[in-house]
Amino acid sequence: MSKGDLTRQRIVAAAAPIFNRNGFEGASIQALMEATGLGKGGIYRHFDSKEELASEAFRYALALSVKTRTGDLAHIEGAIAKLEYIVARFVKAPSPMPGGCPLMNTAIDSDDGNPILRALARDGIADWRLRLSKIVQAGIRTGEIRKGIQPRQIANTMIATLEGALMISRLEGTKKPLHDARASLDTLFATLRS
């Protein structure tokens, strides 16, 4: 990695929490300068625009979240046990990034705004849904999960419930909504068995 690439990486890592907490418009150049320890020129020597920096920051934050949330599933036997593990892990560590889940923040922030960030959030949700759907599909193939269960429905419900519970948890400063979501999802998973 060249020195320029290293600096670029360092700027992205420092900028990610700023964008995650404050949104695209709300991330001030002042806050970005303080977080990176660089001047405006120093930052924008490495990025064409605020949009490019925000996009890289989102990709970085999302990759960190996915890594934290997904973990290693190889040692878990069975589709339903995998789904339960994913939910338990999310409840334990919903986001490694200050400011909450970058997917939800960017989805809400870009809702009526920035189309590039919106597309990145859309891709993030689609990837997550695909990973979860594949686990359900595998469970149907092995006969653990009933035929007729729609993998997409289960995946969408998991994402919606976890993200919604995280929103309430952060608002109220308690993990109760996340624990409640986990209990309800575990009940739902029990209904999937053949």
What residues line the site for a second copy (CB under 8 A)?
Answer: 21-23, 25-26, 99-100, 104-105, 107-109, 111-113, 118, 121-122, 125, 150, 152-154, 156-157, 159-165, 167-168, 170-172, 176-177, 180-181, 183-184, 187-188, 191
Compare residues 100 and 139 and give the one whose CB is closer to a second copy: 100
How far is Cα 157 from Cα 86, in angstroms, rounded to an integer?
13
Considering the complex, what minimum distance in angstroms separates the CB of residue 156 from a second copy?
4
- Partners of residue 193 on adjacent β-strands: 145
Instruction: Give every CB contact of residue 109 below 8 A, 6+ residues apart in sequence.
Output: 23, 24, 25, 117
Q: What are phi and psi of 193, to 5 degrees?
A: -60, 140
Compare residues 42 and 113 and give the one whose CB is closer to a second copy: 113
Compare residues 122 and 134 and give the one whose CB is closer to a second copy: 122
Considering the complex, what minimum distance in angstroms separates the CB of residue 37 from a second copy?
21
Considering the complex, what minimum distance in angstroms separates the CB of residue 71 from a second copy?
21
Closest CA to 124 of 110, 104, 140: 104
Assess contact for 105 and 23: CB atoms under 8 A: yes
Compare residues 8 and 162 and give the one whose CB is closer to a second copy: 162
CA distances for 70 relative to 85, 86, 182, angstroms:
9, 6, 16
Considering the complex, what minimum distance in angstroms separates the CB of residue 118 from a second copy?
7
